[in-house]
Amino acid sequence: MDDEDIEKAVLAYLRKKGLKLTELSLQEEQNRLSTDASHSRSQNVADSYFDGYSRLRSWAYNSLDSYKHELLRVLYPVFIHCFMDLVAQGYMQEARTFFHTFREDHELMHLRDLQKLEGILSPSHLEEMELARFSRQNKVKIRLCEYSYGLLLQFIHKTKSFDMLGVINQHINFEVTPGQPTSISDDSEAVSLIGASQDLAREINQKELHWGLLEDSVEERMEKTLSDLDKTEVEGNKEGDPEENNKVKKTDGNKQGTSVSNKKKKDKAVGATGKSTRSETSMVSVAPRVKSELTLPQLPPEVELSILEDLRNRAQLNSLALPSVSFYTFLHTHNGLNCSAISHDGSLVAGGFSDSSVKVWDMAKIGQPGRASNSQGENGSMQGMHSLASDETKRPYSLLQGHSGPVYSVSFSPFADFLLSSSSDNTIRLWSTRLNANLVCYKGHNFPVWDAQFSPVGHYFATASHDRTARVWSMERIQPLRVMAGHLSDVDCVQWHPNCNYIVTGSSDKTVRLWDVQSGECARLFIGHRSMVLSLAISPDGRFMASGDEDGTIIMWDLSTGRSVSPIMGHNSCVWTLAFSCEGTLLASGSADCMVKLWDVTSSMKALKTDESKSGPTSRLRLLKALPTKSTPVYNLRFSRRNLLFAAGALSAGS
Amino acid sequence: MSIVPKETIEVIAQSIGIPNLSPDVALALAPDVEYRLREIIQEAIKCMRHSKRTVLTADDMDSALNLRNIEPIYGFASGDPLKFKRAIGHKDLFYLDDREVDFKEVIDAPLPKAPLDTAVVTHWLAIEGVQPAIPENPPIEAIVAPQDGKKMDHGKDDSLPVDLKLPIKHVLSRELQLYFDKIGELILLRPETALFKEALLSLAKDSGLHPLVPYFSYFIADEVSRNLSNLSILFALMRVLKSLLSNPHIHIEPYLHQMMPSIITCLVAKRVGEQVSDNHWAIRNFAAKLVSSICRRYGHVYHNLQSRLTRTLIHAFLDPSKALTQHYGAIRGLSALGPSVVRLLILPNLETYMQLLDPEMQLDKQKNELKRKEAWRVYGSLLLAAGSCLYDRLRLFPGLLSPPDIQPWKTNKKIALTHLPNNKRKASSTLNSHQPPTKKLAVDPTGANSQFPSTDGPATSSSCGSNPNHHHSHNSSNNNSSSAGNITNTNTNINNATGSGALAQRMAGSAVLRQAWKEDMDAGHLLSSLHSLFGEGVFSFIQPADMHLFI
């Protein structure tokens, strides 16, 4: 080097001349200069890594949904190699700040690796640590589809982030596949080093989950009274004959007991029917009980009575006894029907239309009043509805207007006195079915609200939106109580867990998440769908969840472990809706291929319980029955409390 | 690099007023354009899914643009699916056929019908897991076939995701095509030949004709509407229909709804045949027979078939503005549907209808002989309908024919008493209108005839001697008709005379009939008594054995 030669020559010259002071000052100055340069250089290098990475990151997060998961996969190797590059070049301080700034992104997925890498404090550590050495020496293989690869290259060239290009070239091997992007589930093994998002799922799914049912629910109380009754009966029979006095006492005691609650008395009256139902309903009671973390609204006594009545009259369903299906067909919708909802007793049917209107039909009043509403109706909702149609002489339905954009979902409250609708105008509206009027307009989402669902106890509701969040609201507040953020794309559907402590959301990022309502944290992440998740249902015992997607796949999940139980190609087209029967023995699915299908849940779940040790799909849902409709896609399914299945859909003449 | 060629960018640039865009810029813009397009399409697909559709519409694109805060593209939100046409000479270039619309045309065009309002109907998709065979549910065999088709479609989708779905072609073998053409030719050109009869036989017996059924049903519907004036073709078409219906290998239910309109047209059309002299009555009768056979065979499958049919026919029957020929067809059709239909729908309206028909049948009121003839035809069909209904009732209560012999007084008296005011009123109203024409016809029977209601009333009201009186009325009516026949052997034929003789009795009879069915209890007794009021015209509907019993 010329500079060094000159320096050496100058120094030699100074020594020769004996100019010691000059020599010292020169050396001093040289030292100062060199540290300065190194400092400024280090600043530059760190900044460029920092900028390059953060730009790549924000770009990847904002890319197209279908390619996003592939591009996100690139981020982690780039991150750790940027970090290690900085360390290797000796910029320890910068490396640490870099690491801590972006650590969060990967914490969920690669926490252990990050903890290890955190310990790297000097270039020598890179050599020592096995993980670091391994990853420096080996290239990561990432499979990308042609278009995402193109996008990535284009981005790097456009932004001229050559540091990133260097890192990528040095450490990542792209395996470019033609055609569509691979789905998430495929690539879990493909990414050797990182283990992809499966790790994240594993991490999240370690969390504790109380999937049991609520304590002190109506069902449980009924169960208890029944078993009490049974016990006393049995005891009475045992001891009855030899000691008559005793028996009298017992029955006296029994009477006292019954007089305490009128419910008990009622149960006794129908003890005969109750006994037969008990064997089935006890399946529900097997589930552990949990305390509610939300304050739950009180049930009005008459509603409770009607529920008890329904429970007693419930038809038992299993693989041999299939339900009756009553189908509500919407005619002349002119392709405008976006969603529908059916009240628990089938007496009210609501439709949300693309012309911003919501229409509610009272089935007791039109056409065939004898059908479903007779067997199911005459509950709390019916009394209120009389005032509703008195002013509606012309139209057979009540028209609810208020939204200013297509209505994407409607949901009845558990006792059908309220109706919730969500729309592309970013709002959710609460309607009273008794007054036929809008009560509240909830604003909070920034983009169209795709789904809104009342909780099983009413009062609370959850919404899902294009703004990638799900929110939990209570009826009395116009601001959301919780905002669940975490999905990487639109949240398309939402459903409540029967114990109201959790909600599940399905998203366009092809995952399903379970959120703790109290903490607002993600408690489970379910990966396995290959396309947008459209429908969700949770079994009444709270342990299993079914999810349906765009391709027609239905996956059963075990909430406690977070594992998928049985993926099946259930339909040829979008699965719009799923519903469990009241005892959880049957699953009904409705699809755009104009079919209602009934699946046997019990047999497949039993198989699961026997060989629980095995991982992966151990069994499949068994198809019990496929019920085709006459060119009517099935939009909505609902089991009544008596296990009658209601289905709704719009007749599509065109298809 | 990008699927958007830079030429496209250049063209777009020119269209918005940038004449010379440098190729570099175009090249740089192309990937971004592609990215934006994909972005919009992705959002549009989300909107489509949330509208629960599987077909992307222009509205979805608009909502997607709205989501991105971009002004939507106007002019595509017609609601109809867009129809793309293939550009000639280019394999994969499509364009929208966007015709220029003349304002005047649009303004002058009649307003389109208001679209029907949304409605909800319910049905049972399944009862305890079993699908009931109702029209709301798809037919059973239709289930199997489409599934295969869908699977095939699905497979196709997988391999070629951007491939356009072509309309499914229904493949007909050449033999079947030839067969179809031949039959069509026979029907239209040589319906009288022996060959055609052979063809009918083949249609009724051959298996493997099922693929042709939709074509035949379309052909028949088409030709019926075109050849209403050509009786022979109409007859041939109806015969073909009959053969098809009788073919045991053809599953014709799904096509019934297409065939029924043409049959009904033949039945109740205002004018069938070219000239008035044509025997259009025969084709109406034939069509009525077809209708009845269809109802008998498919009535239980198509539960609303009969009710719809009846509604159409009764509508034609009760509309006084319709021509008599149409009334005739409607009556024939209704009576072909069975006696209970007649009893429930025709008989209650008989009285009022008679008042309408009456002037048409009379020589002095209706000068047009043709019209009068038509009226008599209608009258004859009514008589037939009422008679067969009566016959049916009698057959239903065979044991009830004897009781009147044992205790005829009581029942007869009762009827007579209950209907006395009715009879009287009618007698007064009808007599006035009847006397002049009947007088003209024949003086002698008219007297007996006109006396009949008035004498019958008082006679039965006095508690004794109703039976002889009864028989007398028989005789008188018998005499009446025969003598009338003798006297008037002009072109007002026998039918005419019998009818006129029985007319007044029928009027009374109809009232009695109505009342009789109101009192279900002793329906049989009443029937036996009232059919005595009917006259000879009715006797032909009673089996000889019964008749013997009765007389």
List the single best residue of A62, A154, A631 to mutate versus B (max B Cβ within 10 A).
Answer: A154
Distance, in Å, from the CA atom of B257 to the CA atom of B304, rounded to the nearest integer, reads 11
Pick the residue with more confidence: A456 or B194? A456
User: Dihedrals φ, ψ of A397, to 5°?
Assistant: -130, 170
A100-141 per-position pLDDT tens digit: 888 887 776 677 677 777 777 777 777 777 777 777 877 777
- Encoding tokens for residue A123? 């270039």
- Minimal C-alpha gap between A333 and chain B (Å): 5
Hey, which of A319-333, A354-368, B288-302, B404-418 has the most confident mean pLDDT?
A319-333
The ipTM of this complex is 0.70
Check residue A240 and give its pLDDT: 41
B32 CB within 8 Å of a chain A CB:
no
Pick the residue with more confidence: A641 or B342? A641
Provide DSSP, A336-376.
-EEEEEE-TTSSEEEEEETTSEEEEEETTTSS-TTSHHHHH
Helices within A426-550 (DSSP H only): none
pLDDT band at B513 (very low <50, low <70, confident <90, very high): low
Check residue B532 and give its pLDDT: 45
Check: CB of residue A502 under 8 Å from CB of residue A515: yes
Residue among A625, A644, A636, A546 nearest A591 (CA)? A636
A488 CB within 8 Å of a chain B CB:
no
Averaged over B404-419, what is the pLDDT?
42
Q: Which residues of A touch B126 (CB under 8 A)?
A: 322-325, 596, 625, 627
Q: Which residues of B touch A351 (CB under 8 A)?
A: 118, 120
3-class secondary structure, B64: helix
Output the pTM of the full model: 0.55
A65 CB within 8 Å of a chain B CB:
yes
Check residue A620 and give its pLDDT: 66
User: Strands of B119-126's sheet, edge to edge?
Assistant: A636-639, A645-650, A325-331, B119-126
The most distant pair of C-alpha atoms in chain B lies apart, rounded to whole Å, by 120
Check residue A272 and give its pLDDT: 39
- Minimal C-alpha gap between B51 and chain A (Å): 4
pLDDT band at B506 (very low <50, low <70, confident <90, very high): low
Averaged over B70-96, what is the pLDDT?
77
Residue among B406, B344, B403 nearest B524 (CA)? B403
- Encoding tokens for residue A614? 């095995």
Distance, in Å, from the CA atom of A517 to the CA atom of A520, rounded to the nearest integer, reads 5
CB pairs under 8 A between A and B: 153
A71-108 per-position pLDDT tens digit: 888 888 888 888 888 888 878 788 888 888 888 877 76
User: Dihedrals φ, ψ of A354, to 5°?
Assistant: -75, -10
Q: Residue B29's CB: how many other CB atoms inside 10 A?
A: 19
Cβ of A574 within 8 Å of Cβ of B119? The answer is no
B79 CB within 8 Å of a chain A CB:
yes
Provide DSSP, B492-523.
S-HHHHHHHHHHHHHHHHHHHHHHHHHS-TTH
Number of residues in chain B: 551
Which residues are CB-neighbours of B49 under 8 A, at least 6 positions away?
A492, A532, A534, A550, A574
Q: Does position B534 have pLDDT exceeding 80, yes or no? A: no
Check: CB of residue B76 under 8 Å from CB of residue B57: no
Check residue B540 and give its pLDDT: 52
pLDDT band at B417 (very low <50, low <70, confident <90, very high): very low
Report B:480-539 residues touching A (Cβ under 8 A). none
Q: Which residues of chain A have pLDDT under 50?
A: 185-196, 234-285, 368-392, 610-618, 655
Q: Which residues of A touch B57 (CB under 8 A)?
A: 335
Q: Does position B82 have pLDDT exceeding 80, yes or no? A: no
Pick the residue with more confidence: A545 or B282? A545
Cβ of A406 within 8 Å of Cβ of B81? The answer is no
- Encoding tokens for residue A332? 């002349």
B66 CB within 8 Å of a chain A CB:
yes
Q: How far apart are the first and last CA of chain B?
A: 104
Per mean pLDDT, which range of A133-142, A435-444, B78-87, B285-294 is the poorest?
A: B78-87
Check residue A425 and give its pLDDT: 93
Check residue A440 and give its pLDDT: 94
Check residue A608 and give its pLDDT: 55
List the single best residue of B43, B118, B134, B152 to mutate versus A (max A Cβ within 10 A).
Answer: B118
Q: List residues bridging with A620 in a β-sheet.
A: none
Q: Does position B523 have pLDDT exceeding 70, yes or no? A: no
B362-396 per-position pLDDT tens digit: 777 666 777 777 778 787 887 777 777 777 776 66
Check residue B411 and give its pLDDT: 40
Cβ of B154 within 8 Å of Cβ of A627? The answer is no
Q: Which residues of A touch B48 (CB under 8 A)?
A: none
Check residue B56 and give its pLDDT: 86
